[in-house]
């Protein structure tokens, strides 16, 4: 019993590491643009499918696929930013959200047109069994993923507070008009932040696909929803919050699935999101990327 509890917590942390990584990219966009990008997951899926196509055609190295996944996600992200976020910069946040959903539909259909099979194999990062700690086991990929999430969180924090670009980003968050007048190219800063988030998403997608050794068209919706949930649990717009929120979501899901089944797992996750939004709105508004 106690081993089950600990093993479930381990599994939850392993899953939570991927949620944390997804949430960091999601939060970066939300913290700076104050916009929700529903196409975040589908753009990651484009990157993963591009890498799958390359690996099927050329038998390339699994680490070369990382570059392709990131490139694919960033290209898809550029398309999303140009069509959904740049035009609505001054306008309604909801219009941008609906537009990003419209591109989600495009991505999903494009992927199933080019690669119609329901499931494609993705090469694994490591061969071999999970690491064993006595009766407990943990997959090595989970450790890689968790270290990546922490490293990226740390690097983003350094970038925001120690670099000129970070200074520009913080200026744009606090006072876009003043930043513009001070000579900062605001649209360019926003585009770069968006592409950075897409790149982090691409890394997350590659780690997730090579951990699960498969890609399906569901990856898009899954990534968006898990990233969104983890971001909200961690408090909207906070980077360390995103990592903690992702891990918390993973552990919560692992335990509720063990005790109550998979449907209850999703129900509890959405219930938490609903309750946080409806009864604890201050949790959602006081945080900021800077």
Partner 1 sequence: MDDYTVSVLTNIGLISFIALSAYLLIIAGEMSFGQQGFFGVGAYTAGVATAMYGVPLPIAAVMAMGAGAAAAFLVGLPTLRLRGLYFAMATLAAAEMLRIVFELIHFQREIDGEPIGPDGTQGFRGIRWVFENGVEPEGFLAMVWGLLFAVVALFLFMERSKLGATLRMLGEDPELARMLGVHVERFKLGVAAAAGALAALGGALYAHHNTYIEPRNFDIMLGVHSLAYALIGGLGTAFGPLLGVLIDIGALEGSRVFHGYRMIVFGGLVAVLLIFRPRGLLDERVVHWLKRRLA
Strands 214-215 and 120-121: antiparallel
State the minimum distance, in angstroms, from the CB of residue 286 to partner 1. Answer: 13
* Contact with partner 1 (CB under 8 A) among 15, 43, 84, 171: 84
As a whole number of angstroms, the longest Cα–Cα distance in the chain is 62
Of 148 and 269, which has the nearer Cβ to partner 1? 269
State both tokens at 83: 């069509």
Q: Is 218 in the site for partner 1 (CB under 8 A)?
A: no
Of 148 and 233, which has the nearer Cβ to partner 1? 233
* Count of residues of this chain found to bind partner 1 when the rule CB under 8 A is applied: 41
State the minimum distance, in angstroms, from the CB of residue 84 to partner 1. Answer: 6
State both tokens at 111: 């992927």
C-alpha 72/C-alpha 109 separation (Å) is: 16
Q: Is 110 in the site for partner 1 (CB under 8 A)?
A: yes
Q: How far is CA 140 from CA 17, 121, 208, 212, 250, in A?
A: 12, 19, 13, 12, 17
Q: Is 97 in the site for partner 1 (CB under 8 A)?
A: yes
Q: Is 114 in the site for partner 1 (CB under 8 A)?
A: no
State both tokens at 8: 């479930």
State the minimum distance, in angstroms, from the CB of residue 238 to partner 1. Answer: 16
Q: Which residues bind partner 1 (CB under 8 A)?
A: 34-36, 83-84, 87-88, 91-95, 97-99, 101-106, 108-110, 113, 221, 228, 232, 263-264, 266-267, 270-271, 273-274, 277-279, 281, 284
């Amino acid at each position: 019993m106690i081993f089950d509890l600990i093993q479930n917590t381990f599994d939850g942390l392993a899953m939570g590491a991927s949620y944390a990584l997804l949430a960091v990219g999601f939060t970066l966009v939300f913290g700076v643009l104050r916009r929700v990008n529903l196409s975040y997951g589908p753009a990651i899926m484009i990157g993963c499918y591009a890498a799958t196509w390359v690996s099927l055609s050329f038998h390339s190295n699994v680490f070369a696929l990382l570059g392709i996944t990131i490139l694919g996600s960033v290209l898809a992200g550029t398309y999303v930013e140009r069509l959904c976020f740049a035009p609505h910069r001054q306008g309604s946040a909801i219009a941008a959200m609906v537009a990003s959903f419209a591109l989600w539909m495009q991505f999903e259909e494009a992927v199933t047109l080019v690669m119609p099979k329901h499931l494609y194999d993705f090469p694994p990062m490591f061969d071999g069994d999970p690491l064993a700690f006595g009766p407990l086991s943990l997959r090595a990929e989970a450790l890689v993923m968790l270290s990546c999430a922490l490293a990226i969180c740390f690097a983003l924090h350094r970038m925001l507070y120690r670099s000129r670009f970070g200074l520009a980003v913080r200026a744009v968050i606090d006072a876009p008009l003043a930043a513009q007048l001070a000579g900062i190219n605001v649209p360019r800063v926003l585009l770069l932040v968006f592409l950075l988030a897409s790149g982090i998403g691409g890394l997350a997608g590659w780690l997730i696909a090579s951990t699960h050794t498969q890609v399906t068209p569901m990856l898009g919706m899954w990534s968006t929803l898990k990233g969104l949930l983890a971001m909200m649990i961690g408090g909207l717009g906070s980077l360390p919050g995103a990592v903690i929120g992702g891990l918390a979501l993973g552990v919560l899901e692992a335990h509720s699935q063990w005790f109550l089944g998979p449907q209850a797992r999703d129900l509890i996750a959405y219930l938490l999101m609903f309750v946080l939004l409806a009864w604890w709105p201050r949790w959602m508004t006081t945080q900021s990327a800077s």
